[in-house]
Amino acid sequence: MLSFYDILKRSEEGKYMEEREFDLKVVAKNARRLVKEYDIRFNREEIVTSDDSLADDVWKAGFELALETGIYCVSTRRIIKFTEEEIKEGLRSAPSQLIVGEGRDARLLYARKIEDQRPPIIMGGQAGAPIPEEFYYHMALSYMQEPLIDTINHGGLHKIKGIEVRTGSPAEALATILELRYLREAAKAAGRPGIHLLAAESSNTCIGDLAVQNPEGLRKTDAHLIAILNDLKTDYDRLTKAFTFKIYGGFNVALVDPVIGGFLGGPEGVAIGFIASYLLSRLIYYADYYIIHPIHPKYVSTSSLETMWVLNIVGQAMARHTNFILMGDVWTSNGAGSYEIFYEITANTITNVVTGSHPLGVSATNGKYPNASGLETRFMAEVAHAAVKFKRSDANELVKTFLKKYYPERMEKPNYGKPFPELYDMETIQPRKWWLELYNKAKKEVADYGIPLE
Amino acid sequence: MSEKDTLCKKLFNAIVDGDSDAAREAVEKLLNLGVDAYSIVKECMIPAMKLVGDKFAKLEIFLPEVMMAAEAFEKCMKLIEPKILAEKKSELVVGKVVIGTIQGDIHDLGKNIVALMLRAAGFEVYDLGRDVPVAEFVKKAKEVDADIIAISALLSTSLPYVKDVIKLLKELNLRDKYILMVGGGAVTREWAKEVGADGYGENADEAVKVALELIEKKRKKK
């Protein structure tokens, strides 16, 4: 693998280019050409495809995109490029399994295969959401106490002790320290002190990540996110996060979240952009595992038709050609407390589990409101465990059936549900009766479609 | 079909295809034919951008194509603008928007989409880019006599800076002079209302719709 110094050097000595030129003449042009060359086509009827050759084409096109495009460093306006051998070395050295967490709470996080019958690792929490400090701990506990949830990725704090957290301010450090403190306390209270945390969500810059690189904050068995900026870009801040955490000894997680309709183009271009981003993030971030998070230009959610197709094909392409460990996001338009959220979770989770990724969620309301709880993530976990029995063709039919129940009407006008304190009893941290009844009703409905939840 | 109609069609297609050279050539020929500059914009160019906006909304084309179309449109405008009478010029522009991603936030893809969709809807758009310092929004709005200041924020940690823009506008007694719109991943409808923004867009479609409504309201007030 290339050293930090090699990467830094390339970010400062690579080819200089204006960003607009990189967007249009490099990314857009190459992505469009490769989609055409490999004849990659988005198929609305095959959200979960059984076509292996399509996955192979997406893989090949994505590999070429990584090789030809490289990654743009916004801070220096230079392109970091890699040779084919270097990219292949990144592939060879990627871990196919990791022990995450500690003691009896440790889990084996592994690279899933297509139609993999092993139980997936469930990562729970309302990732990406700003959570009010007054119920951050309680909400975190609602996930930690769910036995089916193996690991945690919860939201961040946007206000601490009444002070708004501003990007680049010392509050980012303080908020991230507090976030980890609440998460640790919740883990202890749930009797799972060693549970794996993917955290430091309260800070956008590297300030927060640097502040929690210690055993009271993020342990060496924990992880933090480093985003690939859209599309195929990075900057000094993200490289700092990557280098320092790797030196510390923790796990780097590459977050890839391109918008469909952006410079990469439609779902097909975004799919190959994912592959390229993973290959490049392995090299520049030393990523240990990876998040698949396609963004819909209108609904944001990963549960839309287009975004699920991307989840499906990226998962399959990666599973067929790499040992990369993938977490597929479950971001819903509807919120906890609504009935519709269960439909979105069902379709999205089946798609992820059958096509090579572990489910991560539920980030209800796309992380806009703290309208989420452990209960709908329990539902996600149950669907995930049931989905390991499905073949891709069966999964496709089920996903289409559930999609029809919310797409597009309930994404156009979602039911945002209710905030956590209205969903759970704040003293017992148990779901309120009406919310539990809604969950049981959804379980029954899903079982009627041949998805028995245990 | 008359020569004017043929050339107008050529210009329309060139903009939709993002072919700046072909678009410029068609404009020059139309002007040489003696076609009024105002009608070239109104009848050939604006409908082309409208179609581009509609196609993007349906995901039939993507951001690069919209950018190329906008570039072709703007290159033609540079050629044609001096030939349009000042009083007619204002009829072609729905309104002026100063847009940017707020300080501390480097996520600009969503903002770029909104900026292009506003352009396609006939707005004159001044895109300040990303990580834009608070005072820059006000400075640019004053400089171009903007109708709308539109601020995007993806990160919840960049929201306090949006409030700073509003605070600054109030301190300078300029808050009522501009329509203030907010949007982006971190912004909710409730937050927009709470900070006193005039408009909010959940997505690019809604942002354009709201901008058009607010401009119309402003015009009626005058």
Chain B residues within an 8 Å CB radius of A369? 188
What does the DSSP assignment read for chain B? --HHHHHHHHHHHHHHHT-HHHHHHHHHHHHHTT--HHHIIIIIIHHHHHHHHHHHHTTSS-HHHHHHHHHHHHHHHHHHGGGS-HHHHHHH---EEEEEEBTT----HHHHHHHHHHHHTT-EEEE--SSB-HHHHHHHHHHHT-SEEEEE--SGGGHHHHHHHHHHHHHTT-GGGSEEEEESTT--HHHHHHTT-SEEESSHHHHHHHHHHHHHHHHHH-
Q: Is the pLDDT of residue B87 over 80?
A: no
Is there a single domain that holds both residue B104 and residue B24? Answer: no
Structure tokens at A319: 């599973």
- The partner residue sitting opposite B157, judged by closest CB among A74, A167, A231, is A167
ipTM: 0.88
pLDDT at residue B6, as a whole number: 96
pLDDT of amino acid B107: 87
Minimum-distance CB partner of B109 among A24, A204, A230: A230
Whether this model's pTM surpasses 0.90: yes
Domain CATH code at residue B136: 3.40.50.280
Residues of chain B with Cβ-Cβ distance to A297 below 8 Å are: 59, 113, 203-204
Contacts of B62 in chain A (CB under 8 A): 28, 261-266, 269
Minimal CA separation from A424 to chain B, in Å: 23
Give the closest-approach CA distance of A135 to chain B in angstroms.
17
Shared domain check, B186 and B83: no
CB contact under 8 A, B203 and A229: no
Query: Which residues of chain B does A200 touch, with a Cβ-Cβ cutoff of 8 Å?
Result: none
Q: Quick check: A203 and B157 CB within 8 A?
A: yes
> How many angstroms separate the CA atoms of A49 and A364, rounded?
26
Whether B104 and A261 lie within 8 Å, measured CB to CB: no
Contact B203 A369 (CB under 8 A): no
The B-side interface with A (CB below 8 A) comprises: 56, 59, 62-64, 67-68, 103-107, 109-110, 113, 155-161, 185-186, 188, 203-205
**Model confidence at B86: pLDDT above 80:** no
pLDDT digits 0-9 by tens, A314-336? 999 999 999 999 999 999 999 99
CATH for A97-448 is 3.20.20.460
Q: Taking CB atoms and an 8 Å cut-off, how many pairs form between chains A and B?
A: 86
Give the strands of the sheet with B199-201, arranged side by side.
Answer: B124-127, B96-101, B148-152, B179-183, B199-201
Dig out the tokens for A90 from the structure.
């990144």
CB < 8 Å to A165, chain B? 156-157, 160
- Tell me: do B184 and B152 sit in the same domain: yes
CA distances from B2 to A313, A437, B35 (A): 50, 70, 12
Separation between Cα atoms, residue A226 and residue A242, nearest integer Å: 7
pLDDT one-digit tens code per residue, A184-228: 999 999 999 999 999 999 999 999 999 999 999 999 999 999 999
User: Do A229 and B105 lie within an 8 Å CB cutoff?
Assistant: no
What's the length of chain A?
Answer: 454
A263–B64 C-beta distance less than 8 A? yes
Domain boundaries, chain A: 97-448
CA distance B151 to B164: 12
Place of tokens 């006599």: B145
Mutate to test the interface with B, among A167, A233, A256 (most CBs of B within 10 A): A167
Instruction: Point out the residues of chain A with pLDDT beneath 70.
Output: none
User: pLDDT averaged over chain A?
Assistant: 97
pLDDT in tens, B171-214: 999 999 999 999 999 999 999 999 999 999 999 989 999 999 99
Its domain, for residue B114, covers 93-221
Same domain, B104 and B9: no
Instruction: Tell me: pLDDT of B92 over 90.
Output: no
B72 and B130 together in one domain: no
Task: Give A-chain residues touching B67 at CB under 8 angstroms.
Answer: 24
For residue A24, CA distances in Å to A79, B19, B70 come to 14, 14, 13
Q: Which chain A residue has the Cα nearest residue B189?
A: A368
Q: Provide the pLDDT confidence category of residue B219 given band limits of 50, 70 and 90.
A: confident
What's the rounded Cα separation, in Å, for the pair A173 and B128?
29
Nearest chain A CA: its distance from B133 CA (Å):
12
| A266 vs B62, B109, B157: nearest CB | B62
> Does B68 sit within 8 Å of A130, measured CB to CB?
no
- B109 and B82 share one domain: no
- Pick the more confident residue, B27 or B86: B27
- Give the pLDDT score at A227: 97
The nearest CA of chain A is from the CA of B112 a distance in Å of 9
Res B88: pLDDT: 81
Same domain, B43 and B150: no
Query: For chain A, which residues lie within 8 Å of any Cβ of chain B, measuring from their own Cβ?
Result: 23-24, 28, 32, 74, 130, 156, 158, 164-168, 172, 202-204, 229-231, 235, 259-266, 269, 297-300, 306, 366-369
Hey, what's the torsion of the CAs at B189, B191, B194, B199, to 10 degrees? -40
Examine the domain organization and report whether B97 and B86 are in the same domain.
no
Do B86 and B30 sit in the same domain of this protein?
yes
Q: How many domains does chain B have?
A: 2
Same domain, B120 and B42: no
Closest to A262 (Cβ–Cβ): which among B109, B161, B205?
Answer: B109
Task: Out of B90, B113, B145, pick the residue that ends a domain.
Answer: B90
- pLDDT tens digits for range B131-161: 999 999 999 999 999 999 999 999 999 999 9
CA distance B186 to chain A (A): 6
Burial class (CB in 10 A: 0-12, 13-18, 19+), A350: buried
Angle at B219 between CA B216 and CA B222, to 5 degrees: 155
Using an 8 Å CB-CB cutoff, list chain A residues near B205: 298
Q: In a 10 Å sphere around its CB, with 0-12 CB exposed, 13-18 middle and 19+ buried, how is residue B138 labelled? A: buried
Which residue, among B56, B62, B105, would best test binding to A if mutated, counting the most A CBs under 10 Å from its CB? B62
pLDDT band per the 50, 70, 90 thresholds, residue B222: confident
Distance from CA of B139 to the nearest CA of A (A): 22
* Interchain contact, A298 vs B113, CB within 8 Å: no
What local confidence, expressed as pLDDT, does residue B71 receive? 92
Element containing residue A278 per DSSP (H, E): helix A267-284
pLDDT tens for residues B110-133?
A: 899 999 999 989 999 999 999 999
Helix (H) or strand (E) holding A226: strand A223-228
pLDDT digits (tens, 9 = 90+) for B10-65: 999 999 999 999 999 999 999 999 999 999 999 999 999 999 989 998 889 999 99
**Chain B nearest CA to A267, separation (Å):** 10
* pLDDT tens-digit map of A66-97: 999 999 999 999 999 999 999 999 999 999 99
The helix (run of H) or strand (run of E) holding residue A225 is: strand A223-228
Considering the domain architecture, whether residues B70 and B36 belong to the same structural domain is answered as: yes
The answer to whether residues B107 and B216 belong to one domain is yes
Smallest Cβ–Cβ distance between B104 and the set A168, A263, A366 belongs to A168
Domain end position, chosen among B31, B57, B90: B90
CATH of the domain at B65: 1.10.1240.10
